Amino acid sequence: MSDFPDVYADGYAISAGPYGVTLTLHRSEPTGEPGPHAEPTQIVARLRFNHVLGKAIAEALLQTMAASAQALPPSSQGIRH
């Protein structure tokens, strides 16, 4: 697959049901910038997948975040998200 969507998001919503998981990515409106803006809750992507993949993604994210936290300089490890 040579062409795929590349999106930016700064918000998310996750829901799970009997048939799978839905991850919805949102982008909020930038402030103080000229030009057209997105609606505050504009959906930029919606991903649907089964529970097995959802669990694998969650585990991979935890491992990746733990590894990246170890690589950060000491001054940036105290940043709250």
> Domain range spanning residue 27?
11-72
CB burial readout 46-60, b (16+ within 10 A) else e: eeeeeeeebeeeeee
Q: Is residue 6 part of a domain?
A: no
pTM score, two decimals? 0.66
Instruction: Give the SS3 label for residue 44.
Output: strand
**Nearest-angstrom CA–CA distance, 64 and 70:** 10
Res 63 pLDDT > 90? yes
The total of structural domains in the chain comes to 1
Res 4 pLDDT > 70? yes
Mean pLDDT of 29-58: 81
Between 17-26, 45-54, 61-70, the lowest mean confidence (pLDDT) is in 61-70
Question: Residue 74: its pLDDT value, please?
Answer: 62
Q: Is residue 17 part of a domain?
A: yes
Question: Residue 80: its pLDDT value, please?
Answer: 41
Q: Is residue 77 part of a domain?
A: no
Q: Is residue 2 part of a domain?
A: no
Residue 35: its H or E element? none
Q: Is residue 27 part of a domain?
A: yes
